[in-house]
Chain A
Amino acid sequence: QSALTQPPSASGSPGQSVTISCTGTSSDVGGYNFVSWYQQHPGKAPKLMIYDVSKRPSGVPDRFSGSKSGNTASLTVSGLQAEDEADYYCGSYGGSSHWVFGGGTKLTVL
């Protein structure tokens, strides 16, 4: 299975909103409502931010939201803050008990 496609970088100023896309196929992103997003700061482990396309785990600020249309999922970070600067990865169930991730997007807060 191929990795999901994410833009390598994204940026925004404090207070602005930024959206990161994640494109797959009908066999993964488009076929299931099981897209998740992970935040990873340098040298740290990834942290779950969004699951099942748009649900937030307890403790994740509501500035983070997720959506999906067809084979493309999106993560939107509203009201950007300095601590949001990190790498973001999307993941999806790929069927047949397999999982696939995106290549990651480096979010820079200007």
Chain B
Amino acid sequence: EVQLVESGGGLVQPGGSLRLSCEASGFTFITYWMRWVRQAPGKGLEWVADIKQDGSAKNYVDSVRGRFTISRDNAKNSLFLQMNSLRAEDTAVYYCTRGGLYSFDFWGQGTLVTVSS
């Protein structure tokens, strides 16, 4: 059974940093792209970033490029999102997702990030 378990969310002040983690199990992690998707309270879904199987390619939505960094540790079946210079508009539930060839085929339960003073 595919499982994705996020952690690391919480309350942070504007300008602060947070590192999200996602522990994967039930599939061969190294063979999949991995992606982060976020959902602001009461709003729709927004793709944030993704990373190739070997970490050699990374892509970001324009609004987070230069502030967020996606990474992975294939030895530990783990995905990360380092978030710096956080803004109020980054407040959202962040989902770790497995990259189907051209879809998001499995989702974690999400971790809430709240940016507020």
Q: Interface of A with B (CB < 8 Å)?
A: 3, 32, 34, 36, 38, 44-48, 51-52, 57, 89, 91, 93, 97-104
Q: Which of A34, A97, A101 contacts B44 (CB 8 A)?
A: A101
Find A45's partner among B44, B100, B109 (CB 8 Å cutoff): B109
Q: Least Cβ distance of B42 to chain A in Å?
A: 10
Interface of B is mostly: strand
Q: List chain B residues, Cβ under 8 A from A89.
A: 44-45
The 10 listed contacts between A and B (C-beta, < 8 Å) are A34-B103, A36-B100, A38-B45, A38-B104, A45-B95, A45-B110, A51-B102, A97-B59, A101-B45, A103-B44
How far does the Cβ of B34 sit from chain A's closest Cβ, in whole Å?
Answer: 13
Chain A nearest CB from B43 CB (Å) reads 8
